[in-house]
Amino acid sequence: MPLNAPVLQPEKGTMSRHLFAILLSLFAAVASSGIFLDSLFHQYALVEIAASVVTGFQVFFLSSAIADLLEKKNKISNRRNSWVIVFTIFLFAFYSFTRYFH
């Protein structure tokens, strides 16, 4: 690397965006795990299956967000954050619908 080469500095606020993505994914994983345990206790079979699949996705998204932080990526995946929110809302709605009509 030449002596006069510009050093790439991370954008300001990148760390806070990484932390937001990690906390968002962590909250979603905990929420879907809680829904899984509650549906297991109340024996809602379809909700159990959906919750276990969504929990797997949420843990994958959480590990991906942590990897982005460790690799010091400058750009945060907005698509991943959107899917985290969509899956969590879907699971909560499905659980609420099942509890209401059971």
* Residue pLDDT, tens place only, 49-58: 999 999 999 9
State the Cα–Cα distance between residues 69 and 50, nearest whole angstrom. Answer: 29
Closest CA to 87 of 65, 63, 48, 61: 61
- Cβ atoms of 65 and 22 within 8 Å: the answer is yes
Q: What is the pLDDT of residue 96?
A: 95
Gyration radius from the chain CA atoms: 18
The domain spans of the chain are: 14-101
> Which residues, given as ranges, of the chain have pLDDT below 50?
none
Q: Is the pTM of this model over 0.75?
A: yes
Nearest by Cα to 75 from 27, 23, 10, 2: 10
Contact 94, 36 (CB under 8 A): no
